[in-house]
Chain A
């Protein structure tokens, strides 16, 4: 067996967006949230994902706006790096390599150039203990920076980001082991921790610092909120208790002005407390699911709450829900993972009683289909109808669902529903409801996949010992009815499977596989490989359609040849899931071994696996699906060919949706997200400085002019360019031809500007300005004059890898030079 290093297991699509607290940008237009291995940038007004910030190779564990530049954002990840991004353009600016997994990230406005991260104890690799570490980010022009200047601030902290907060010069947290002590440290300018311990009688769940006052709010397991004050004295700290929540407070936030305190918990009610007038509270109820995080935009206008059902709600001034960003709902998945043939969306259980259609390509929840069509009652212990099985036919015209309710001391209630796709409404419409289709639970259900068959057929197997075939009868209005009831020696059928052409139906009865002809309902043959009941059945496809594969409970994977009706080969493996790729002849088998799951991809015709991956994840994998790709990969490597036309997604024990990605694909994705490269080849000459400064001032002039909207031209003698020209010693001046163009430009700048303005559309103008802002501010943060000699130095700029914005600017300036300079030179 070969291990393939270039195929990785990644989080892609359907990842949690409620994993960590999101960040709202300063202008409240974007919401940044950690999602799997990337940071997603959502628009707060349209709910759309604008782009992903890709680059991390493990789970992103924190997002933080850079305190000194509001257009850049830090993200930290368990892969041991902190990355700095320009989120408006989605550009990776810098990567700081820390070298240890990072669990959360904090910054203090008082500490320039320092971020605080939580890592496992450096000495202890078992990663049970965590410490808060201050990282001095080195000021270097390189894109990949090793940040080795770490200094431990606090030890024995919790990896939960809600457990630590950094306020005005104060850092407070509660220990991960004894959840009853709140530690508060005064961060002096040189980061000297001053411990102040205080006991609380109850377990802390979260902590928040007041932005202006010395006040720390803590949330507790019993639903109380305590406001601690006076903690700079060793003993005379004091606290106020607020109590509204009836169970644990999961998140606490102060508004930026400190006038309000927001809290949320499992009640799914956002509570707003007036600071210093705590008897007055406001509520925003019915948010749908338990609140896990609360974020407030820097101007305090937008609140955003993350919910346990993978949802982010954006709330305007605590009264109105303005947008809902819904991720993949990960509740109790009872159905298999399926792919809707029409929308290519993944389908699985969503909200209670619903099926969710989730687009993996766009990483977006398309819609929820209400299957049960009954009100869900939020009460623990109440048995309600649940969707347990669902199946699509090949064309996506029909959807069959099974819902069941099992109440104590009552009969099983079963409903088989058949849904027809309505072209007009572009959604599924209920066609037939068959109540009590079987007398016991339905174990498997499948449609006949033959694309050319005239009649659509559905087969369901049940624990009552029968399998039933359902067919669409066509009187005036088509509806479904039972066509055939089959049984085999009173045994209980477990799985059923149609062959690719629809000519054969295989139904497993414990350890016997029976093969039926659906056209005549004749038992063709029986295949059996005792001992052990059959767990999974799969027909081979395309070139391997003569094979039928099955896994048994006694850890056997068998392959029968249907032409000879004999066992072709078998191998001993504890297969938890066998899956056929509908787009190739490949099959995937997930094997559970020693607490981990291994994946084998193979062709039924040859018993040697195409691909194997050990320890895909911990725990058992019971749900997986092959999803079609939008654009095929052209990988020629044998081991990654199986990923060419489809992609394998699987759900782990912890409901994480994972997939496999090849190195090439990853590189391609990375390449699509641009990276800013700063060229270091330019030496720091006075000439360089002159040009750089000039360029900067030119920009400033433009800015002031455009803001004032004054059409006044600066006087020639007052122009900086002229001053520069006259005051600089002659031996360091550049060539006269260049100075000439510069001089001319300084004279004509306002005119070109106004022309530019008239040319460009308004919004483009704005976006450009923003870019310029961001570049300017980045310069100040890296305190290094950036190369900016775009004014006509084609030889130099050629060496640069330019961003789109820069290229556009260059083109513009170039054009200008030619049109005006040539005329002048001629005269």
Chain B
């Protein structure tokens, strides 16, 4: 496997933000997740739950509710505005003020023509969805108390609105309330506190289901306005409800971190009258479950503990398959760490600021497995606060450590860094080319002479850098008419090639000498999660969201022999079953046959000179290899050398001096920074 000196970095205090809202688009199988900092993430459920897009947040925007209308995504927030997102340029397209105070909820009818908003002032506001914008249509009868939750009847004629202490049913035509369902308050001390109906669901058979702050899930008859059943599920709040497409299953998320499933079951075989029965309880969260989505095969939940949990319903999926395993998505599926290979610097990206660290140094050499004493401690050189309201969406550090750049949705900033002795100087490069305003990805060339920035329509802007200024060189455009953003950029070591990957799964190779498109890699159906060009052989290595690995020769413009062999043999099933994507690929200059890649739970060195593992061979064989004698090792070893010594990896990089930088962020550290969860009685305490 090779021996490395490892910098085990644990000073990246990355803290994901709590999940506030969720919306699942059944047609495109995409889940939109809104976080507390205003960021909106799009996960593609048809492609291994890959986080394909991230729209960075904004200080003034707190998203309370998300809603899909066809392929358009709307959100409402406590700033009282409706926002539609531009999913191609990863930024808000426009915002419309609703003039009703904070918006608590937003809901569209099945036909996709109307948006209903629940506002603080007690009005339900109807907005018409037009081709380019939304337009205010009317107000419903104003009620006392805020509207917390809304649900359309599938026919689009009725709306149930959850309020304080009651649920109201409105006629969508007239805007008048037709029913008033009083929700009982909690018992005991909470009797005096008004109950909040956090969530309602209006089913096609006119059943209304509500979840409230007294811990009840109640089932109402929407025609007569009577209470049918009360399920007391928690001592605390029921915060979220979600109904499956066929309306036979319902999930409720509570403050205790549990998700409770209800199912519409006939009590005896063959009988027609069905009732809602509480069935399974899932406990995958330590904190409030704020948002829920019931997909065809799984329950997706998220909340205060920042994790997105996909819990498959075992009665809907095949057992013991990749689909039936529980998934927790904790870290973003892109790199937040930049490493200057030559200078030994790390750049950490936070939504609010950037941190530049110098790695520590150690003395002497030790046996494998020893921990060396640190001679000079790692040092935080710069903490750079961003300007403006918008959060940082991407950042880059040049390999020499002399340049640093970051971008928000509205602007790009480039800094020149100078080190003399122990002082560090940072100067902002004032005049940037005009085209460089809204970019999705930044990347420096290996000699730090060029900055590449991906822009709209999958184009890449090339900017030349020198000591004094930066000048616009060229815009590289692909031949295809893709409007999707580029999410991966890689400039080759020799400065000849630039590879880009966009969310249409296209990978384009540009020749930087000629500043034109060299070739397009054949499109594979799954997203590329990491791309890299080998410094010596100029082969492009691509890892996709479905864990497939391809190697493409740029000179011959075809897949290499090794890649064909790998595809023919197929990857090991354990490799394919891993549930986090590979986020970075590097190469070992000492041994050109080595490819180093990592995901959240392991890093792997693929030795192309060794035979590929067969389906029956042990994939994780490093420990067993260690126990067999030297001559036999060769017989047992295969190309995939996997190391699981480091967990919760955010970044694995190889420095110029052949030491490995491993950035870990233990989940326990994240957990310890979360606020205290609601108190729960534990048995025998």
Measured CB to CB, the residues of A under 8 A from B are 168, 199, 212-215, 229-230, 232, 235-241, 246, 276, 278-279
A239 lies within 8 A of B280 (CB): yes
List the B residue with the shortest CB-CB distance to A241.
B281
| Residues of A close to B684: CB separation below 8 A | 246
Known: A246-B683, A279-B232. A213 touches B267 (CB 8 A): yes
Among B232, B233, B279, B316, chain A packs the most CB atoms within 10 A around the CB of: B279
B326 to chain A, nearest CB (A): 13
Known: A239-B280, A240-B279, A278-B278. A215 touches B267 (CB 8 A): yes
| Residues of A close to B278: CB separation below 8 A | 240, 278
| Residues of B close to A213: CB separation below 8 A | 267-268
Decide yes or no whether B628 CB sits under 8 A from chain A. Answer: no
Decide yes or no whether B315 CB sits under 8 A from chain A. Answer: yes
| Residues of A close to B265: CB separation below 8 A | 229-230, 238
What is the bound-complex CA distance between A246 and B685, given in angstroms? 13
Decide yes or no whether B269 CB sits under 8 A from chain A. Answer: yes
Contacts A/B (CB < 8 Å), 7 sampled: A199-B319, A214-B267, A238-B265, A240-B277, A246-B683, A278-B278, A279-B232
Annotate B224-259 by CB proximity to A: 1 below 8 A, 0 otherwise: 000000011100000000000000000000000000
What is the bound-complex CA distance between A232 and B265, given in angstroms? 12
List the A residue with the shortest CB-CB distance to B232.
A279
List the B residue with the shortest CB-CB distance to A228.
B279
Known: A237-B315, A238-B263. A229 touches B268 (CB 8 A): no
| Residues of B close to A232: CB separation below 8 A | 269
| Residues of B close to A241: CB separation below 8 A | 280-281
5 more contacts with CB within 8 A, not counting A230-B265, A236-B315, A246-B684, are: A229-B265, A240-B279, A241-B280, A241-B281, A279-B233
What is the bound-complex CA distance between A199 and B320, given in angstroms? 12
A214 lies within 8 A of B269 (CB): yes
Known: A212-B267, A237-B315. A276 touches B277 (CB 8 A): yes
What is the bound-complex CA distance between A827 and B406, given in angstroms? 131
Measured CB to CB, the residues of B under 8 A from A are 231-233, 261, 263, 265, 267-269, 277-281, 315-316, 319, 683-684
| Residues of B close to A246: CB separation below 8 A | 683-684
List the B residue with the shortest CB-CB distance to A278.
B278
B186 to chain A, nearest CB (A): 14
B268 lies within 8 A of A214 (CB): yes
| Residues of B close to A276: CB separation below 8 A | 277
Chain A contact surface mostly: loop
| Residues of B close to A239: CB separation below 8 A | 279-280
List the A residue with the shortest CB-CB distance to B267.
A213
A143 to chain B, nearest CB (A): 41
What total count of A-B pairs have CB within 8 Å? 42
| Residues of A close to B233: CB separation below 8 A | 279
B576 to chain A, nearest CB (A): 24
List the A residue with the shortest CB-CB distance to B263.
A238
A235 lies within 8 A of B280 (CB): no
- Interchain residue pairs A-B with the least CB separation, the first 6: A213-B267, A238-B279, A236-B315, A232-B269, A240-B279, A279-B232
| Residues of B close to A168: CB separation below 8 A | 268
| Residues of A close to B683: CB separation below 8 A | 246
What is the bound-complex CA distance between A791 and B232, given in angstroms? 67
| Residues of A close to B280: CB separation below 8 A | 238-241
A126 to chain B, nearest CB (A): 34
List the B residue with the shortest CB-CB distance to A276.
B277
List the B residue with the shortest CB-CB distance to A246.
B683
B263 lies within 8 A of A212 (CB): no
What is the bound-complex CA distance between A239 and B260, given in angstroms? 12
What is the bound-complex CA distance between A279 and B232, given in angstroms? 7
What is the bound-complex CA distance between A688 and B568, given in angstroms? 90
A235 to chain B, nearest CB (A): 6
What is the bound-complex CA distance between A276 and B231, given in angstroms? 9
Among A199, A215, A240, A241, chain B packs the most CB atoms within 10 A around the CB of: A240
List the B residue with the shortest CB-CB distance to A230.
B265
| Residues of A close to B263: CB separation below 8 A | 229-230, 238
| Residues of B close to A238: CB separation below 8 A | 261, 263, 265, 279-280, 315
B301 to chain A, nearest CB (A): 18
B255 to chain A, nearest CB (A): 16
| Residues of B close to A215: CB separation below 8 A | 267
What is the bound-complex CA distance between A199 and B314, given in angstroms? 11
List the B residue with the shortest CB-CB distance to A223.
B683
| Residues of B close to A235: CB separation below 8 A | 315
What is the bound-complex CA distance between A720 and B269, given in angstroms? 48
| Residues of A close to B268: CB separation below 8 A | 168, 212-214
A66 to chain B, nearest CB (A): 26
| Residues of B close to A214: CB separation below 8 A | 267-269
What is the bound-complex CA distance between A49 and B464, given in angstroms? 104
| Residues of A close to B279: CB separation below 8 A | 229, 238-240
What is the bound-complex CA distance between A246 and B683, given in angstroms? 9
List the B residue with the shortest CB-CB distance to A235.
B315
What is the bound-complex CA distance between A230 and B269, given in angstroms? 8
A215 to chain B, nearest CB (A): 7
| Residues of B close to A279: CB separation below 8 A | 231-233
B553 to chain A, nearest CB (A): 47
What is the bound-complex CA distance between A241 and B277, given in angstroms? 12
Choose among A199, A212, A229, A237 the residue that contacts B277 (Cβ–Cβ < 8 A). A229
| Residues of A close to B261: CB separation below 8 A | 238
| Residues of A close to B315: CB separation below 8 A | 235-238
What is the bound-complex CA distance between A645 and B233, given in angstroms? 68
What is the bound-complex CA distance between A229 and B268, given in angstroms? 9
| Residues of A close to B269: CB separation below 8 A | 214, 232
Among A239, A276, A278, chain B packs the most CB atoms within 10 A around the CB of: A276
List the A residue with the shortest CB-CB distance to B261.
A238
| Residues of B close to A278: CB separation below 8 A | 278
A245 to chain B, nearest CB (A): 11
| Residues of A close to B231: CB separation below 8 A | 279
| Residues of B close to A212: CB separation below 8 A | 267-268
A653 to chain B, nearest CB (A): 36
List the A residue with the shortest CB-CB distance to B230.
A277
| Residues of B close to A236: CB separation below 8 A | 315-316
| Residues of A close to B319: CB separation below 8 A | 199
What is the bound-complex CA distance between A215 and B263, given in angstroms? 14
What is the bound-complex CA distance between A759 and B269, given in angstroms? 56
List the A residue with the shortest CB-CB distance to B276.
A276
List the B residue with the shortest CB-CB distance to A238.
B279
A596 to chain B, nearest CB (A): 46
List the A residue with the shortest CB-CB distance to B315.
A236
What is the bound-complex CA distance between A278 and B277, given in angstroms? 11
List the A residue with the shortest CB-CB distance to B275.
A276
B59 to chain A, nearest CB (A): 43
A178 to chain B, nearest CB (A): 15
What is the bound-complex CA distance between A240 and B231, given in angstroms? 13
A65 to chain B, nearest CB (A): 24
What is the bound-complex CA distance between A238 and B265, given in angstroms? 9
What is the bound-complex CA distance between A63 and B280, given in angstroms? 36
What is the bound-complex CA distance between A241 and B282, given in angstroms? 10
What is the bound-complex CA distance between A278 and B233, given in angstroms? 10
What is the bound-complex CA distance between A279 and B683, given in angstroms? 16
What is the bound-complex CA distance between A212 and B269, given in angstroms? 11
| Residues of A close to B232: CB separation below 8 A | 279
A781 to chain B, nearest CB (A): 29
List the B residue with the shortest CB-CB distance to A280.
B232
List the A residue with the shortest CB-CB distance to B277.
A229
A621 to chain B, nearest CB (A): 42
What is the bound-complex CA distance between A820 and B684, given in angstroms? 81
| Residues of A close to B281: CB separation below 8 A | 241
B458 to chain A, nearest CB (A): 44
B209 to chain A, nearest CB (A): 16
What is the bound-complex CA distance between A215 and B275, given in angstroms? 13
List the B residue with the shortest CB-CB distance to A186.
B269
What is the bound-complex CA distance between A168 and B678, given in angstroms? 43
What is the bound-complex CA distance between A235 and B267, given in angstroms? 17
B279 to chain A, nearest CB (A): 4
List the B residue with the shortest CB-CB distance to A213.
B267
Among B233, B277, B319, chain A packs the most CB atoms within 10 A around the CB of: B277
